[in-house]
Amino acid sequence: MYQAPVNEFHVLLKALGYLRTHWWLFLLEIFVIYGISLHKFHKTPPVYESDATLLIDTTRRQIYQTVLTSASSMNNARKQNMVHLLSSQDVLERFRNQLTEIYNEGQPAYLKPLFPGGVAYPAGVLRNWVSLSWDKNSDIYSIHCTSNNADSAHALCLGYLNTIQNYYPEIGQRESLLKRDFLTRQISSFVNQIKEKEQTIVDYQRNNTEFINFLNLTTDNQGIQKLRTDKSNISHRMITNRAIYKLILTIPRAKKGEHTARTTSIAVLTQRVTELQYQLNLTEQSNHPDREGRIQLIRHELEEVTSKLGHLNEEEVQTFMRTPLPTADVRQKVASLELEYKADEMKLANTEKEIGLFAQKEQLFNQQRLQYERFFMELNHKKKLLTNLYQKQQETELELSAGGAEIFRLQEPTRLGIRVAPLLSKHMYGSLSLSIFVIAISVIILIAGFPRLDSEAEVHRLNLPVIGKVPLIRKQGATEDLPAYSLEYLKIMNYRIMREMKEAKCPIIVVSSPHAREGKSTVTHFLSLASQNSVRKTLLIDGDLLTSHPNKFFGVVEDHTPGLKSILENPDNIDYQSFIVKTSYEGVYFLPRGGRFDPGVLPNFTKPMEQVLSSLRKDFDTIYIDTPPLFSSNLAHQWSGLGDLIVLVARIYHTRPKDIVEAIQTCKVFSKAPVGLALNCIRLSGPNKRASSYYFSKKKPAPPPRLAA
């Protein structure tokens, strides 16, 4: 079969299916949530508000704000500090005292909740009812008070406003004064520390003269690094000197005057070449008739002189390569190189000695040098801090020179008779949100923990062998009462059963289900009704020996006949034909159970039923056996061994996929008959109903149109 993939649309259909079948659970959750919310609404004490605004005029601080570069940030920080100061424990204690004075004067009833036992709440509790905020774009401060009474909220706001107005002159410049005193003390302390550090450095210099001289020598560019550089340079010169010395000694010496004669000839020939080139240029520029002949002669002579000069130069080069220098020059160069080498040796020895002494001093004064540098670092750091403190002190003096600020009441405390909490709409909206969330969680839990067959797509995805579908029928009765589309679905299912059992003369169809209340008895009844025919006989056997649903369907009293019970108790010499009841439907017969029967006493009752069923095959065309649920009794297991086809009923929105799969496997264990699945209670939409009723419409056909005469 086709296996449909799982996608979001299937999950949505599952969720909608649970909403349709478990609406009572979700409705109960909504009632519980709304009930708790309404209970909280009625139990929550009312809350009333009172607001007031005041202005702290800072006009005289404008000069200070224009002088400082970070006026905006400092202004916001100042206002924030002011809010913390005006809502401090000291201010709230004064506010508590003022409330106590108001209460002691007349003891108004609206203030009694604030004075349990005649004593006001502590300042920490009053902080929960009173709040002060500030506006970053102006000097306006807002007071917000809450209480369970409008008059008490107004009294709280008025008392807090009076407390701030009375207490502000004491704290207007408090922050700046404290800041100035702190900076003054810090500056005095740092000045003393700097003086002590300078005196320490002077004493250290006086007591360590040798170390100071060493530092001076280092600062005068006479340190060990310079000496090491000089040593390296001297070593390079000495190496170069020795290399040149060896090179000169290995060069062959020329004889006296060996290069002089050839050099003179080269100079004479070079002078002659220059003269000939000059004559050639003058001749080429003249207009004399013999110009061409003279040019040829000059060029011929120039070639001869150039050739001689080239031979002499080659001989001179070869001679110089063999003997480049004369003996006198070699002696002079060797003597100068020896003199330079001796002088560099003396300089190198002196430099190495100085480096050794300097290294000893540096190792000796290393700890003192670190300590001396630390003294100067601490001194410079304290001087920088002192500079910053002086700058802060100037800013504080400028702030103090701006003067204090004045306070004005912009809005008196309000007295509103409308409570702000609890709000019924807020509780309702909260309950609605919580209800939606709880319903969603419940649907997810149901989908995850209680999976079930929700649609035909679910059945196809599980690859279950579906043999037919039974639509949802609200009313049970005769075939005339069944909708046309429902009867058509039942006939289609019967046709499929007959097609599967076409080789059997009288097929025995066992109908069961995994659990109770899945509609197996109803489906069996509908199948027998759909199989009624004037030429075919159908028998319905009530194999469920514990209930009597088929009797009610056909209107047969339970003790109308001894029924199946007597056949099982006395299988020999029983006329079972007398136990079969002919129903009011054409071709449909019914074998009731006859009475409640405990199958535990006869665990092998299928043996006599095999003979009975063999006899019944000769008289009927189709036999349906209604059995109990597979997982409730072993009767269905024994009946399944007698059937030619087993039909398992799965109710949509009720049967779990795991149960139906396990039921199919159980049937295959107890019987070799094929197993088919009947989907019960399938809801059909309007278009499907109309399509199914196409051939079964009860409307009268329209009369044929009149033809022309």
Q: Are 4 and 461 in contact (CB under 8 A)?
A: yes
Query: Would you call 608 exposed, middle or buried from its count of C-beta atoms within 10 A (0-12, 13-18, 19+)?
Result: middle
Give the Cβ contact number of residue 468 at 10 Å.
21
458, pLDDT greater than 80: no
Q: CA of 134: how far to CAs of 77, 129, 141, in Å?
A: 11, 17, 4
User: Is 219 inside a domain boundary?
Assistant: no
- Mean pLDDT value of segment 145-163: 90
Confidence of residue 457 (pLDDT cuts 50, 70, 90): low
How high is the pLDDT of residue 2?
36
- Tokens describing residue 665: 């496997």
303, pLDDT greater than 80: yes
Whether residues 151 and 60 share a domain: the answer is yes
How high is the pLDDT of residue 12?
76
* Buried/exposed code over 113-133 (b: 16+ C-beta within 10 A; e: otherwise): ebeeeeebbebeebeebbebe
Whether residues 37 and 130 share a domain: the answer is no
- Mean pLDDT value of segment 301-312: 82
How high is the pLDDT of residue 71?
46
pLDDT in tens, 588-597: 998 888 776 6
User: Is 668 inside a domain boundary?
Assistant: yes
Pick the more confident residue, 326 or 302. Answer: 302
How high is the pLDDT of residue 478?
59
Whether residues 587 and 473 share a domain: the answer is yes
pLDDT in tens, 675-689: 988 888 887 765 555
Instruction: Identify which of 23, 26, 18 has the alpha carbon closest to the alpha carbon of residue 458.
Output: 18
Q: What does the alpha-carbon distance between residue 335 and residue 343 come to, in Å, rounded to a whole number?
A: 13
Residue 544 contacts by C-beta under 8 Å, 6 or more apart in sequence?
521, 550, 593, 626, 627, 628, 635
Number of helices (H) and strands (E) in the chain: give both, helices first.
24, 14
Whether residues 154 and 285 share a domain: the answer is no
**Single pTM value for the model:** 0.48
Whether residues 469 and 497 share a domain: the answer is yes
pLDDT in tens, 501-529: 888 888 999 999 998 888 888 888 888 88
pLDDT in tens, 83-110: 888 888 888 898 998 888 888 887 888 8
* CATH value at residue 141: 3.30.1890
How high is the pLDDT of residue 259?
53
233, pLDDT greater than 80: yes
Whether residues 512 and 630 share a domain: the answer is yes
Whether residues 350 and 482 share a domain: the answer is no
User: Is 129 inside a domain boundary?
Assistant: yes
Least confident of 145-154, 335-344, 481-490: 481-490
Helix then strand then coil, in percent of the chain rounded to 5, is 60, 10, 25
Confidence of residue 63 (pLDDT cuts 50, 70, 90): low
User: Is 140 inside a domain boundary?
Assistant: yes
State how beta strands 130-134 and 140-147 pair: antiparallel
Instruction: Give every strand in the sheet of 466-471, ordered side by side.
Output: 466-471, 675-682, 645-651, 508-512, 622-626, 538-542, 588-591, 581-582
Query: Which amino acid belongs to residue 102?
Result: I
Q: What does the alpha-carbon distance between residue 91 and residue 494 come to, in Å, rounded to a whole number?
A: 92
Residue with tokens 């006989």: 537
Q: What does the alpha-carbon distance between residue 299 and residue 305 come to, in Å, rounded to a whole number?
A: 10
Q: What is the tally of structural domains in the chain?
A: 4
* CATH value at residue 478: 3.40.50.300
Confidence of residue 61 (pLDDT cuts 50, 70, 90): low
How high is the pLDDT of residue 4?
43
Residue 422: is the preceding peptide bond cis (ω within 30°)? yes
Long-range contact pairs involving 369-376 (C-beta distance under 8 Å, separation at least 24):
369/211, 369/215, 371/204, 372/201, 372/204, 372/211, 372/215, 375/197, 375/200, 375/201, 375/204, 376/201
Confidence of residue 49 (pLDDT cuts 50, 70, 90): very high
Whether residues 134 and 239 share a domain: the answer is no
Confidence of residue 691 (pLDDT cuts 50, 70, 90): very low
Give the Cβ contact number of residue 494 at 10 Å.
20
How high is the pLDDT of residue 436?
92
pLDDT in tens, 611-658: 888 888 888 999 999 988 988 878 888 888 888 999 999 988 788 888
Residue 375 contacts by C-beta under 8 Å, 6 or more apart in sequence?
197, 200, 201, 204
Query: Would you call 288 exposed, middle or buried from its count of C-beta atoms within 10 A (0-12, 13-18, 19+)?
Result: exposed
Confidence of residue 707 (pLDDT cuts 50, 70, 90): very low
Long-range contact pairs involving 272-281 (C-beta distance under 8 Å, separation at least 24):
272/305, 273/302, 273/305, 273/306, 273/309, 276/301, 276/302, 276/305, 277/302
- Tokens describing residue 346: 């003396």
User: Is 134 inside a domain boundary?
Assistant: yes
Q: Are 507 and 644 in contact (CB under 8 A)?
A: yes
User: Is 198 inside a domain boundary?
Assistant: no
Q: What does the alpha-carbon distance between residue 415 and residue 49 come to, in Å, rounded to a whole number?
A: 8
Whether residues 253 and 305 share a domain: the answer is yes
Least confident of 160-164, 254-258, 302-306, 468-472: 254-258
Whether residues 30 and 79 share a domain: the answer is no
User: Is 185 inside a domain boundary?
Assistant: no
Domain residues for the domain of 323 are 224-364
User: Is 378 inside a domain boundary?
Assistant: no
Whether residues 345 and 491 share a domain: the answer is no
Q: What does the alpha-carbon distance between residue 243 and residue 249 come to, in Å, rounded to a whole number?
A: 10
Whether residues 655 and 678 share a domain: the answer is yes
Phi, psi of 452 (to 5 degrees): -155, 170
**DSSP class of 645:** E
